[in-house]
Amino acid sequence: MRIALDAMGGDYAPVETVKGALLAAEELQVEIILVGDGPVIENELKGNSVNGLVSIEHAPEAIGMDENPASAVRKKRNSSIVIGNGLVKKGVADAVVSAGNTGAAMASSLFGLGRVKGIDRPAIATVMPSAKGPMVLVDAGANVDCKPHHLQQFAVMGSLYAERVLGIAKPRVGLINIGSEEGKGNELTQAAYPILKETPNLNFIGNVESRELLMGNCQVMVCDGFVGNVLLKASEGVALVLMGMVKQGLERLASEVDPQTLAAAMKVIKQRMDYAEYGGAPLLGVNGVSIVGHGSSKAQAIKNAIRVAKESVEGGLVTAIGKSIGMISKGETL
């Protein structure tokens, strides 16, 4: 399997992206194509190709984190993220991963790979920790204005991702709303509810309030991208504050508890809450595997984003989405 990695994308590129690629090649035994400035990447590799599993595809341009996504993708055809998607389109790579400009990663995948037939709006699916294990939030920011049938497509794609990549059988799907009753919400959620309820083979459990987001009663939480992004960023902020409070509390016990025990406890908590452990977020609905990483990703997060790409390819995610959406559009049972 070959994964194209945007080596120039991210706050810590190319140092951390190259480190992450080497980790992934060694631990996951996948071929990594580092796309970006050849001489710069070569210098970071220092001759280490992990037994030939890491190669370079030169891209003379890079899209900055603060550039306008659509404009940059059109103007910089030789940028690392555009060329990375081109490798997938040509069949040279099986998936593309980028921790760079999120909008540019989305635009280049959409323009370069196209959409799965029947999908109107590709969506970002972000894996988050919950009290009962990982859960998927979709859409996490790709579409701020949606129609009811878009939420139906998000639900189907998120459910397939939870099943095929996270290994969750019959994932429970909830619609994020301001109340659990069927009649609650704005025009969008009220109209989406019956559509989700009638979607064949979708394990839809109804409306779920945002306070239940991290309780783990649902494995897939569906909403428009505006709501999803606000929830995601708010959750990240809460996690940072809680980690700080927990750390302060444990440090006060340092004189009474064995230091190794404290360190082990902190490690477990950090692993449960650290985004780096969950890798990147797939852009569901494009006609290829495209993984968007956090802009501040370091080597561990890059490695795990590559792992997500590998698992998505192995799980036949794109084909499954196409089949399911096609059957829904024909009114057939999944």
pLDDT tens for 108-126 read 999 999 999 999 999 999 9
Residue 278's alpha-carbon distances to 141, 157, 167, 246, 272, in angstroms, are 17, 18, 14, 21, 9
Q: What pTM did the predictor assign?
A: 0.89
pLDDT at residue 334 greater than cutoff 60: no
Mean pLDDT value of segment 202-213: 93
pLDDT score of 111: 94
- Would you place residue 328 in the very low, low, confident or very high pLDDT band (cuts 50, 70, 90)? confident
Asked if the 125-275 domain carries CATH number 3.40.718.10, the reply is yes
Mean pLDDT value of segment 88-115: 96
pLDDT score of 109: 96
Give φ, ψ of 57 to 5 degrees: -115, 110
pLDDT digits (tens, 9 = 90+) for 7-23: 999 999 999 999 999 99
CB distance 98 to 9 below 8 Å? yes
pLDDT score of 253: 66
pLDDT at residue 251 greater than cutoff 90: no
Out of 66-75, 120-129, 245-254, least confident range: 245-254
Break the chain into its structural domains and give their ranges.
2-119+285-315, 125-275
Handedness of CA 233, 163, 184, 139 (dihedral sign): positive
Question: Residue 269 has which token pair?
Answer: 């908590």
Helix (H) or strand (E) holding 15: helix 15-28
pLDDT at residue 278 greater than cutoff 70: no
pLDDT at residue 138 greater than cutoff 70: yes
Q: What integer best gives the mean pLDDT of the chain?
A: 90
CA 122 to CA 93: how far, in whole Å? 21
pLDDT score of 261: 66
CA 221 to CA 207: how far, in whole Å? 9
Superfamily, domain 2-119+285-315: Isopropylmalate Dehydrogenase (3.40.718.10)
